[in-house]
Amino acid sequence: MKKILLAISAMSAALFSTAANADISVSGSANAVYVDSGGNAQGHIGGTISFSMSTTTDGGVTISTGGQITNDPDAAGGAGNGSGMTALTFGFANGSITVADDVAVPAGTGLVGELVTHADVNMPSHTNDVALGTDDGSGIKGSTTLGDMTIAATYVYDGGHLNNIDGGTTTGQGASLTVPLGDMSLVVSSSQMDVGGTEDSSAGGALTMTAGGGTLSLGVETTSGDTAATEGEAYSVSYSTTMGSAAVAVGYSGYDANSTTSSRTDVTLSQSIGGGASVFAEFQNLTGAGVAAEGNSTSESVVAIGTSVSF
């Protein structure tokens, strides 16, 4: 991705005892995608301009934030808007702390087979999806290293994204641990959410390894609590590799929740054409007793074909 890097001198010492140097990074991306859900076709045309800003204190602490101007690039009819500037990250020698209006607990760690970005619209409802209904909100998150392991934790104090620190009706917390194992990597996580008195939790793990010239990922995810429809487990697998200069990935997930089963298959293909541009295709199929019946505008199988470019 090409970036425009600018160095500016801070002219105010409101936060620092001496003038500081700040870095501003500007990047952009855009896409045009055709999506077909059993004859119900739509276009995803959009893009994003992202701004990242950072500075370093005299004590060596890096402070960073960012913002975006975007037209939703992965949905039809996305309206342009500005976002960001709602998080501040403090980076230290062996970790970081982020205070933000939108942080997420580490749920869905084991769902490694869920790969597509565009081919997931106009599908029947997935009634036995093994997932937390709400997993984010205003809160704080942090991470640090312990030897070659990485430990991360998140606390959500207001799921309404209103920064109500002591009065939010949706709260939650979670933690994850990443452990390198030679040419493999293991990630495990656990999270809990309380949504107005409805309490649910999730736990998951993913093991990633090199295999046959590509990358193989194995995952398991479980949910439990007050929401019976999504209480159960999912087993997930994905494999990614290259064919010539094209990147190819296949994923499969099997869900067993609320005494019903379903399965999901994802396939992605991407080919760089130079200059930061690429063409890609995606396919998803969702089927089983835990999937609602198809309607006039929904289909269990969705195809997406498009192009994307990074600036």
Q: What is the per-residue pLDDT across 238-279, written as a single tens digit (0 to 9) for each?
A: 999 999 999 999 999 999 999 999 999 999 999 999 999 999
- What pLDDT is recorded for position 22? 75
Residue 227 CB partners (closer than 8 Å, separation 6+): 133, 198, 200
Residue 106 CB partners (closer than 8 Å, separation 6+): 152, 154, 174, 175, 176, 189, 190, 191
Residue 286 pLDDT exceeds 70: yes
Q: What is the mean pLDDT of the chain?
A: 90
Give the distance, in angstroms, between the CA of residue 294 and the centroid of all CA atoms in the same chain.
Answer: 27
- Return the number of other C-beta atoms located less than 10 Å from residue 64's C-beta: 19
SS3 label, residue 230: helix
Burial of 65 (0-12, 13-18, 19+ CB in 10 A): middle
In whole angstroms, how far apart are CA 300 and each of 112, 118, 123, 126, 127?
20, 14, 6, 10, 13
Indicate the pLDDT class of residue 86, thresholds 50, 70 and 90.
Answer: confident
Question: For 77-128, where are the alpha helices, taking DSSP H only?
Answer: none
- Return the number of other C-beta atoms located less than 10 Å from residue 126's C-beta: 19
- Return the number of other C-beta atoms located less than 10 Å from residue 222's C-beta: 17
* Assigned token pair, 25: 């990074």
* Assigned token pair, 79: 């309206």
* Assigned token pair, 125: 């409802």
User: Rounded to the nearest 10 degrees, how much is the dihedral formed by the CA atoms of 73, 84, 106, 287?
Assistant: -20
Cβ contact 156:134 at 8 Å: no
Tell me the CATH number of domain 4-310, given options 1.10.287.610, 2.40.160.10, 2.40.100.20, 3.40.640.10. 2.40.160.10
What does the angle CA 218 – CA 174 – CA 204 come to, to the nearest 5 degrees?
Answer: 15
Residue 66 CB partners (closer than 8 Å, separation 6+): 50, 51, 52, 53, 84, 85, 87
pLDDT in tens, 21-58: 679 899 999 999 999 999 899 998 889 999 999 999 99
- Return the number of other C-beta atoms located less than 10 Å from residue 103's C-beta: 22
> Count H helices, E strands: the chain?
0, 18
- What pLDDT is recorded for position 203? 98
SS3 label, residue 59: coil
Indicate the pLDDT class of residue 17, thresholds 50, 70 and 90.
Answer: very low
SS3 label, residue 250: strand
pLDDT in tens, 115-153: 999 999 999 999 999 999 999 999 999 999 999 999 999
Of residues 77 and 37, more confidence is placed in: 37
SS3 label, residue 68: strand
- Residue that the structure tokens 């001198």 belong to: 9
pTM of the model: 0.86
What is the β-pairing status of strands 246-257 and 170-181? Answer: unpaired
pLDDT in tens, 199-213: 999 999 999 999 999
- Residue that the structure tokens 């590509």 belong to: 214
